[in-house]
Amino acid sequence: MGENSKRKKLVLWGTRILCLVALLLFAGCGKDEIPIEDYVPSNPGTRTMNPIMKSDTGYYYCAINRRPLNLHYFDMESGQNIFLCSKPECRHDGDVFCTATSGKYTVRGACYYGGSLYINAVEETDNEYLCKLLKVSEDGTELEEVVTYQAVNSTSLWVSSSEPMLIHRGVAVLPYYMRSNTEESVSVEGICLYDLNTEELVLLPETGEDSQRAAYGSITAYGDYIYYAVKQGRRYGLNRYSLTNKTEETLELANAFTGDYVVVDDNLLFYDYGGKNLYEYHAQDKKNVTHSYFYDKMDITSPFLMTDGTYLYVGEGVTFQSFSTGYLGVLVSHDGTETEVPSYVHVFDRELNPVAKVEIATENYMEEAVSFSLAILDGTVYLKTYEAVFSCTLQEFLANEIPPFKRLYDHIDIEF
């Protein structure tokens, strides 16, 4: 059997399995209406480094790195950092009855939406991987399984790491990625959409024999659309799914598109070509504009892009998607040698006029170089590490060559 035939057989098998397991739990009359809120692209619900899950009174976080459930809450007024569990007798040691910690689930992503925490999790049984969306009340009194959106036989496949989850206008976007447990190096990957109000589960078409969805940072949402990059052979394309008419379309980007992009609004998005050229795409007239050698004047070779709708942020040694490229302020060469380099964020307006150049000078507030990423939410810039979160206002960030980050809260972590 050829490689393409094996891949096709596995993809078809995965499709049949996925269609059989849309098991919806806790449905019925009297369910509270889920509010309709827009996703914030500059703060993705990442799995490997904590998203900023801010409520009116404090911050939630999940102290994990692809590990069991480990939920915490930091209260801004009191400065208390507690486990998100309301049971006074609980030891928070991973037992299934604890809403804060549980060895039953492995966390793949988390986000705060509509006054609740939503967790993209996997439960492993004797012979299956059960991919589930969990909902945790903000006071830690309840943890419920909202939907099992996927179940696979663990003897044939294993559920691998996936893209960050997000929730946009009441729809949870749950990417999945599975690889063969056998010697055949084939995979099945796609995206599940789950409507929190109607409980409708939609499986976007799985990619074919010679295509696969691009990995990491390629899913976002804005307005009526969910955007995601698709790789076909050696080329990338950008698709978007309409939440209003339930259709999928491919945007007409230049052939130089490599999967890295940010959506500014309904009409404008920017995308990158190998750290050389920056492109902008106007959806209304399907127009591509090329900014040749955009990064040369900044001496950037591996840029990272982010937007908050007002500014375009270009990271130089700084990642916004929470997937580390090394250590803070250290460039590791292929031969293993290390060179200390500064990390910068270049800020531009929507017309690509320079606004600021900011150095992330970590020696001012960190004892040692660690992996980190940035997020922007409600006019605040957050610097996130595995151990702690630092913050400053966006105004302070733009006005200072070295922003005055201050430690906001530490991450409490446990092993069980």
CB 51 within 8 A of CB 57: no
162, part of any domain: no
32, part of any domain: no
Token pair, residue 350, equals 């929507």
307, part of any domain: yes
Which uninterrupted H or E stretch holds 13? helix 3-20
390, part of any domain: yes
Half-sphere exposure of residue 279: CA atoms within 13 angstroms, side-chain side: 20
Name the nearest CA neighbour of 97 among 76, 125, 69: 69
Using only C-alpha atoms, the chain has a radius of gyration, in whole angstroms, of 21
Give the pLDDT confidence score for residue 370 in this predicted structure: 66
Name the nearest CA neighbour of 162 among 211, 217, 221, 223: 217
Whole-angstrom distance, CA of residue 234 vs CA of residue 255:
11
399, part of any domain: yes
* Residue type at 387 in one-letter notation: E
**pLDDT one-digit tens code per residue, 301-344:** 778 889 999 999 998 877 776 544 444 555 556 676 766 677 88
What is the pTM assigned to this prediction?
0.84
SS3 (DSSP) at 397: helix
Domains in the chain, number: 1
Token pair, residue 386, equals 């595995």
253, part of any domain: no
11, part of any domain: no
Give the domain range for residue 307. Answer: 303-416
Query: DSSP assignment, residue 12?
Result: H
Mean pLDDT score of the chain: 80
**pLDDT one-digit tens code per residue, 266-315:** 999 999 876 688 999 999 999 999 998 888 877 777 788 899 999 999 98
328, part of any domain: yes
Burial (CB count <10 Å: 0-12, 13-18, 19+), residue 224: middle
Whole-angstrom distance, CA of residue 213 vs CA of residue 209:
12
Task: For residue 135, count other CB atoms closer than 10 A to its CB.
Answer: 20
Token pair, residue 180, equals 């063969």
